[in-house]
Amino acid sequence: MPSKQEITTVLTLLKKDHKPTMLEQLSHYTAFQMVVMTALSARAKDATVIPIVIDMFAKHPNPEDFVDMPVEKLEKMIYKIGFYRVKARNVIALSKMLLEKFDGVVPDTREELMELPGVGRKTANCILAYKFKKPAIAVDIHVFRIANRLGWVHTKNEKETEFALMELVPKDQWINVNNMLVGHGQSICSPRKPSCGKCNVREYCEFGKTSLNKKEREKRK
């Protein structure tokens, strides 16, 4: 198990080659817009979601713009995003709840955020970390995969990973975990073929060290 110092070192090294995630690129957007784009990005590629939300929020920036919007109109705007039908319904429902229950202000606690339709634990943690700069670790498929490859955790699912990481990672680094690991997952540590040869944290990585030793053994044969 890595020390807290080693984890901080890895996160610092990842910062050097970091490619900004969608939520970093669009961090100047409002909290409402960030909730919506995060919910839309579930199981979808940032490259698909980014141009769609930029265009959509240029015309419809506020929850008031969505409450009375016919769902077919919203579906048409976001149809390139996977699960767009259910996501469109959620965006309209969460806009309504935001106005009716929270006076149009996005709440800054996990519990309240998770009351919003379509907002699960990962989306809530993203908003806490990226928008409100509150300590939270948002675990998606990239964070789950890379935390396990690094050997930080040995977990079976994303929720288990979040709790294990909260034990391991220094609290002042929690808000860096998602952006650093997602950025790394989108550029170097891809799901099927990680580019370990180009990775600047390989010496700290359980998977990277094992694959290196394997290649060396094969060369010597």
3-state secondary structure of 121: helix
- The answer to whether residue 14 forms part of the interface with ligand SF4 (CB under 6 A) is no
Residue type, 110: R
Which of 88, 207, 213, 219 is in the footprint of ligand SF4 by CB under 6 A? Answer: 207
Q: Please say whether the beta carbons of 182 and 143 come within 8 A.
A: yes
> Which of 65, 140, 172, 209 does the annotation list as catalytic?
140
How far is residue 6's CA from residue 205's CA, in Å, rounded to a whole number? 11
- The answer to whether residue 42 forms part of the interface with ligand SF4 (CB under 6 A) is no
- The answer to whether residue 201 forms part of the interface with ligand SF4 (CB under 6 A) is yes
- The answer to whether residue 144 forms part of the interface with ligand SF4 (CB under 6 A) is no
How far is residue 75's CA from residue 81's CA, in Å, rounded to a whole number? 9
Query: Judged by CB under 6 A, how many residues of this single chain contact ligand SF4?
Result: 14
Active site residue 46: no
- The answer to whether residue 107 forms part of the interface with ligand SF4 (CB under 6 A) is no
- The answer to whether residue 110 forms part of the interface with ligand SF4 (CB under 6 A) is no
Active site residue 140: yes
How far is residue 165's CA from residue 204's CA, in Å, rounded to a whole number? 16
- The answer to whether residue 205 forms part of the interface with ligand SF4 (CB under 6 A) is yes
Q: How far is the CB of 15 from ligand SF4 (least distance, A)?
A: 14
Residue identified by tokens 């990585």 is 205
Best CA proximity match to 106, nearest among 50, 65, 63, 139: 63
Best CA proximity match to 64, nearest among 30, 106, 100, 95: 95
| Closer to ligand SF4 by Cβ: residue 40 or 169 | 169
Q: How far is the CB of 214 from ligand SF4 (least distance, A)?
A: 12
- The answer to whether residue 208 forms part of the interface with ligand SF4 (CB under 6 A) is yes
Which of 15, 69, 149, 152 is in the footprint of ligand SF4 by CB under 6 A? Answer: 149
> Which of 122, 172, 193, 198 does the annotation list as catalytic?
122
How far is residue 110's CA from residue 202's CA, in Å, rounded to a whole number? 34
213 CB neighbour count, 10 Å cutoff: 10
What's the first-to-final CA gap in the chain, in angstroms? Answer: 32
User: Contact residues for ligand SF4 (CB under 6 A)?
Assistant: 146, 149-150, 188-189, 194-196, 199, 201-202, 205, 207-208
Q: Which residues are catalytic?
A: 122, 140
